[in-house]
Chains A and B, each alone.
Chain A
Amino acid sequence: NAGVTQTPKFQVLKTGQSMTLQCAQDMNHEYMSWYRQDPGMGLRLIHYSVGAGITDQGEVPNGYNVSRSTTEDFPLRLLSAAPSQTSVYFCASKGGGFSLAFFGQGTRLTVV
């Protein structure tokens, strides 16, 4: 009954550090995506994937990299963290056709 699992839940980084936010789903969903949530901005799409080996950019992709080597995992990489990347990050997954998107519980990232 795991659904979408995000790790870590909280993280503090120094400017310039790199890290990877992990996202895993156990529902065999084709579609996965990453959003960031900032006050007054709602959730904005960073990157998304329509299947293993296929990724594309969303609204705010700069500063983030993704890859999708397996159906289950969709990690989000920050190569050189900046204070502007302080945010709450949500991963989501969805099956095909008329189906719902499931969200992880979020990762709260602070860059100092």
Chain B
Amino acid sequence: AQSVTQPDIHITVSEGASLELRCNYSYGATPYLFWYVQSPGQGLQLLLKYFSGDTLVQGIKGFEAEFKRSQSSFNLRKPSVHWSDAAEYFCAVGAENTDKLIFGTGTRLQVFP
């Protein structure tokens, strides 16, 4: 069965520090992988996606993620975090011909000035 694990429930970083949010997935075929961000009281905003091709994908707001098939991982990174990045981040895995996405439980990011 498909599953997504985000092992970090809550991460705190200082503004300007680098960030890595972990995501591991379990999926029988080549996965579609996504990172979404949700600010408090808001809907989901897509940060980036991986469908195929280059395993390092660039997203919005300076985020990037790397697909590592051997590790079943799709970690999200940002070299320098801004206070406005404080939000909850969700990793998700999907399949080609369905919008059935399986989400991780999320990582809440707190940014200190």
Task: State whether A105 and B43 are in contact (beta carbons under 8 Å apart), knowing that A40-B105, A42-B106, A98-B51 are contacts in the complex.
Answer: yes
Q: Is the CB of A42 within 8 A of B90?
A: yes
Q: Are B100 and A93 in contact (CB under 8 A)?
A: no
Main SS class of interface, B? loop
Is the beta-carbon distance between B99 and A44 smaller than 8 angstroms?
A: no
Q: Name the distance in Å between A31's Cβ and chain B's nearest Cβ.
A: 4
A43 touches B98 (CB 8 A): no
A104 close to chain B: CB less than 8 A? yes
With an 8 Å Cβ cutoff, the count of chain A residues facing the other chain is: 27
Specify which of A31, A42, A106 lies most central, judged by the most chain B CB atoms within 10 Å of its CB: A42
Q: Would you call B46 and A100 a contact (CB within 8 A)?
A: yes
Q: Does B94 contact A (CB under 8 A)?
A: yes
Task: Say if the beta carbon of A32 comes within 8 Å of chain B.
Answer: yes
Could you tell me which residues of chain A, from 30 to 76, have a CB within 8 Å of some CB in chain B? Answer: 31-33, 35, 40-45, 48, 50, 58
Given contacts A40-B105, A42-B104, A90-B43, contact A31 B96 (CB under 8 A): no
Kindly state whether residue A92 has any CB partner on chain B within 8 Å: yes
How many whole Å from A56's CB to the nearest CB in chain B?
A: 9
Task: State in angstroms the CA–CA spacing of A90 and B44 once bound together.
Answer: 9
Chain A to chain B contacts (Cβ below 8 Å), 25 pairs: A29-B99, A31-B98, A31-B100, A32-B99, A35-B101, A40-B9, A40-B105, A41-B105, A42-B105, A43-B103, A45-B101, A45-B102, A48-B98, A48-B99, A58-B100, A90-B43, A92-B101, A93-B99, A94-B99, A96-B97, A98-B96, A100-B46, A101-B34, A101-B99, A106-B43
